[in-house]
Copies of this chain bind each other. A is one copy, B any other.
Amino acid sequence: MNILLIEDELRVADFVRRGLKAEGWVVEHAGDGETGLAIMQDRDFDVIILDLMLPGISGQQVCQKMRARANTTPVLMLTALDSTDERVAGLRVGADDYLPKPFDFDELIARIQALHRRMTGYGNEDSNGKYQHHGLIYDSAAMVLTVDGIVVDLSAKERELISILMASKNKALSRERILNSVWGTHEDPMTNVVDVYIGRLRKKLGPYGGLITTVRGAGYRFG
């Protein structure tokens, strides 16, 4: 599961990020609405967690803008106030659910899953968190990669990497974005970890290794 968290308070953001990562999910964090909107255009997410109170443009505006761009990713709004007005306003601009702060962590997780399920259409429980491309299946719930029916062991970083790659099918991802998403670092552009891991993944994908294309001067693309 790929999640975009738009939240300016670093303490909250860090707390949420940590917890969601423990669930095995990949979390991207944006400190304000503009950044969030920019990231959305580069990657597809399963759920967007959106704080209502943001510096610059408000959470509501973010929601409105992304909907205007025909982005239908489910949005879970966070707000400090438990006011019905805000809730209604949030839902009106296109949020899908709402959670008042402070919240219980389990509830956050449950709601994210509920949202995701609701949007992907429940009934087909099996398709949950599964990315498939021909004989290549990554089940993010089980954290298992299957290559032509054979289970392949992946390390934690490899799992996160293939997760964002497959979630961003047919989109080029820059090394910086991958670094930020998987390694959670903003600096240190002198490392080549991404390259190394892409190499390892390609090898583990066997016949499907070629699906990860190098976009020279830009990054990598899956699919």
Q: Report B-chain residues with C-beta under 8 Å of the C-beta of A30.
A: 110
Q: Are B156 and A170 in contact (CB under 8 A)?
A: no
Q: Does A88 contact B (CB under 8 A)?
A: no
How many A residues touch the partner, as a band?
A: 35 or more
A107 to B38, CA, bound (A): 10
A202 to B30, CA, bound (A): 42
Please tell me which one of the listed residues B34, B110, B170 contacts residue A34 in the complex, with CB atoms under 8 A apart.
B110
Please tell me which one of the listed residues B22, B97, B122 contacts residue A41 in the complex, with CB atoms under 8 A apart.
B122
Q: Are A111 and B24 in contact (CB under 8 A)?
A: no
Binds B, one of A46-54, A172-180, A190-198, A204-212: A172-180
Contact (A117, B41) CB under 8 Å given A142-B221, A156-B217, A217-B156: yes
Copies in the complex: 2
Contact (A110, B38) CB under 8 Å given A31-B104, A155-B217, A221-B143: yes
Binding site for B on A (CB under 8 A): 19, 22-24, 30-32, 34-35, 37-39, 41-42, 69, 97, 104-107, 110-111, 113-114, 117, 122-123, 125, 139, 141-144, 155-156, 159, 170-172, 174-177, 180, 186, 215-219, 221
17 contacts between A and B (CB under 8 A): A23-B174, A24-B174, A24-B215, A34-B110, A34-B114, A35-B106, A38-B111, A38-B117, A41-B113, A41-B117, A41-B125, A69-B123, A105-B186, A141-B170, A142-B170, A143-B172, A144-B170
